[in-house]
Amino acid sequence: MHLRRAKAAVALWLLAVLAPLHAEPLVAVIIDDLGYELDAARRATALPAAVTLSLLPDAPYSQEVYRLLASSRHELMLHLPMQAMHRDAPREPVQFTEGLGRTATIVRLARLLARYPAVRGVNNHQGSLLTQREPPMQWLMRGLRDFGGLYFVDSRTHRATVAERVAAEFGVPHTRRDVFLDATPHDRGAFRRAFVELLRLARRNGTAVAIAHPHHESLQELARALPRLQAAGIRLAPVSAVIQRQEETTCPECSSPLLRVVKNSKPSPSSTCCGGPVLR
């Protein structure tokens, strides 16, 4: 009798422990570069509410678009312009650069976050140079950590990026882009191929993150494709939910039910998850 009870208890414990491994895969889709066109922002908010929307802070219509996004049911991010490797790359009015310095970086970040209080996290716009530089990434992650409860998504505009690793070192919840999900007037097949890859990664890893842009063709393809995720056994989720799943998988002791933690709860810069950085 006691042996049967013990076996039953072990079986229940194993079920509870292993259940997350068999949970339905999660996919996050981020629409970034919002702020240049009101119509594109309106079309983005018409996508399923689990799509995450990322706003450029100083585009011509950023303030109007922010009010639209903040009143929607979508999770909102700030799309931070960062220094690119190519000098001829289009520049935003306000950009984070290598020469900005520690104090100015933290102050500028805090001002932008205060201007857009509904944001839950940030990702980099361009940044192929800056995300390779450890000191600027440390300044940025310190600012995110000190502001409190915000996550970071590495858009991975360069394969040598250190942004995700530095975010882990500063205890900032984080993830990375897996796929760019865009269509063009002359190649809608690119979207479909990327969408297949997104589903493959989600099934293999349990989560996947895509970034798309508010082009007419991309938004049209997303409106068609996203409703098919459920039939494929995959759930569309906000970025915060994907990060939560990844933390639960890599380090159950470190995951928190809410990514918006109390602002005065600040881990040390060397804090890591369960003895090491949370890396995917």
pLDDT tens per residue, range 216-264: 999 999 999 999 999 999 999 999 999 999 999 887 665 554 454 333 3
pLDDT band with cut points at 50, 70 and 90 for residue 187: confident
Kindly state whether residue 63 falls inside one of the protein's structural domains. yes
CB atoms closer than 10 angstroms to residue 180? 18
Kindly state whether residue 15 falls inside one of the protein's structural domains. no
CB atoms closer than 10 angstroms to residue 136? 26
Domain holding 49, by residue range, is: 24-250
CATH number at residue 200: 3.20.20.370
Helical pair 62-70 and 38-45, crossing angle rounded to 10 deg: 10
Q: Is the pLDDT of residue 279 over 50?
A: no
pLDDT for 250 equals: 80
Overall pTM surpassing 0.95 (yes/no)? no
pLDDT 10s digits, 44-84: 999 999 999 999 999 999 999 999 999 999 999 999 999 89
CB atoms closer than 10 angstroms to residue 39? 10
Kindly state whether residue 44 falls inside one of the protein's structural domains. yes
pLDDT for 108 equals: 96
Contact between 16 and 40 (Cβ < 8 Å): no
pLDDT 10s digits, 135-170: 999 999 999 999 999 999 999 999 999 999 999 999
Contact between 41 and 61 (Cβ < 8 Å): yes
Q: Is the pLDDT of residue 2 over 80?
A: no
Instruction: Give the C-alpha separation, 167 to 165, whole Å.
Output: 5
Which parts of 170-220 are beta strand (E)?
Answer: 174-176, 179-180, 207-212
Write down how long the chain is. 280
Kindly state whether residue 269 falls inside one of the protein's structural domains. no
What is the number of structural domains in the chain? 1
Kindly state whether residue 255 falls inside one of the protein's structural domains. no
Closest of 143, 202, 198 to residue 167, by C-alpha: 143
Kindly state whether residue 74 falls inside one of the protein's structural domains. yes
Amino acid at 139: W
pLDDT band with cut points at 50, 70 and 90 for residue 111: very high
pLDDT for 257 equals: 47
Kindly state whether residue 261 falls inside one of the protein's structural domains. no
pLDDT band with cut points at 50, 70 and 90 for residue 112: very high
Handedness of CA 144, 48, 41, 180 (dihedral sign): positive
pLDDT for 185 equals: 77
- List the beta bridge partners of residue 174: 152
Q: Return the higher-pLDDT residue of 270 and 195.
A: 195
Q: Is the pLDDT of residue 275 over 60?
A: no
Contact between 211 and 222 (Cβ < 8 Å): no
B/e letters for 62-81, b = 16+ CB within 10 Å, e = fewer, are beebbebbeebebbbbbbbb
